[in-house]
Amino acid sequence: MMKQKSISLLLVVGITSLTIFSSCKKSKTEDPTPSSTEEIKKKEVKQSDQTGSSAADDALEDVNNYINNNIGGGSNKRLDTYNLPCGVVSVDSSTVGTVKTYNMRYGKVSKCGYKFKSGLITFQLINGSKFSDMNSQFKLIFTDYVVEVEATNDIVKLNGYLTSTNTTGGYIWESVTANKTVSHKIRGSFDVTYSNSLTKNKKYFQTRTWASNNGWAGLSLTVTGDTLNDVSEIGRTLDGDYPYQTHILNAFTWSNCGTGFQGPYVLKVGKARLDATVPNLNPAYFQIEAGYNTTGSTISTVPVGDCNANTYKITTVLGTTTITQYQLY
């Protein structure tokens, strides 16, 4: 299975947060020349509306990893042994009747990139006899699942659930070995508690599809929003408590730009927009488009949409003000 660190949908990457709605007073349109590489590399480690979504996506990745590469035997297709996901200290299980529940326990014993993870995630089949059955469904439950940023000690804590329905059947690695298209429908509702003690609820509506046209080298992952036509997430903003919806306007697609299962997997295309409902400010949205290229101090004026893609174009529209920024993945 592809390394899914890439599937976190950073739909408000590089934007401090929705405080911009209340602080922006300009009335002219701004479309500055793209910054130099060094300038757009300057990323502030700060909590925003995507922080909780990223944590949830990483957790779902860990569970999919365990299901497909351990329970599902996917490791036999490419590895001799299975290693637990980063931050996981143990996985145990218990069975009540015919229902088997897996307990994935995290502990702050090792750093995962620039983060530490702790808490508990449980998951179990709630439909089907095995995870690879067509229309099988598993439920993932967050119990005080905490992700902490080492540099700032900021945390997000998740409580709630996600469900994943295997609408096509098959393990993810079978998209390579059996030339299957494997699709999962993701639903969920979870609370995100931030370092400032505010708690916001998020709801997920996504379809994730794995397919290959050339073994591991041809493996790709596509993510779409699938409620109200294209909505992938509904919630309220961290700053201002404004209701929002995230629309995936063009599917996000990560493709293998290597020859083996290791990748690298590159986000080639995708466009999403976060629409917020803000009193006395209309329209109010962020739009992020993947697929641009930054080389040295030059940023492509149109998406390249290939393995050279490494930059987002981020457009903020606040009433009569438009601001365009570029940021490296």
| Single-letter amino acid, residue 116 | F
- pLDDT for 74: 55
pLDDT, mean of residues 179-199: 97
Average pLDDT, the chain: 86
Percent of the chain with pLDDT over 90: 78
Both tokens assigned to 25 = 């007073």
pLDDT of residue 28: 31
CA gap 165, 136 in Å, rounded:
6
pLDDT at residue number 42: 34
Give residue 86's pLDDT. 94
Give the pTM. Answer: 0.85
SS3 87: coil
Element (H, E) at 57: helix 51-66
Number of domains in the chain: 1
Instruction: Encode pLDDT of 197-251 as tens digits.
Output: 999 999 999 999 999 999 999 999 999 999 999 999 999 999 899 999 999 999 9
- Which regions of the chain does DSSP assign to beta strands (E)? 88-96, 99-106, 115-127, 136-149, 155-166, 182-193, 199-212, 219-225, 231-236, 243-256, 265-276, 284-292, 294-295, 298-299, 311-318, 321-328
Q: 289-302, pLDDT tens digit by residue?
A: 999 999 999 999 99
State the residue range of the domain holding 41.
4-328
Residue 49's contacts (CB-CB under 8 Å, 6 or more residues apart) are 12, 17, 18, 200, 235, 237, 238, 244, 274
Task: Over range 139-168, report the average pLDDT.
Answer: 97
Query: Which one, of 144, 131, 246, lies nearest residue 184 by Cα?
Result: 131
Q: Tokens 């201002």 correspond to what residue?
A: 240
Q: Mean pLDDT lowest for which of 17-26, 47-56, 86-95?
A: 17-26
Q: Are strands 115-127 and 298-299 parallel, antiparallel or unpaired?
A: unpaired
What does the alpha-carbon distance between residue 324 and residue 299 come to, in Å, rounded to a whole number? 13
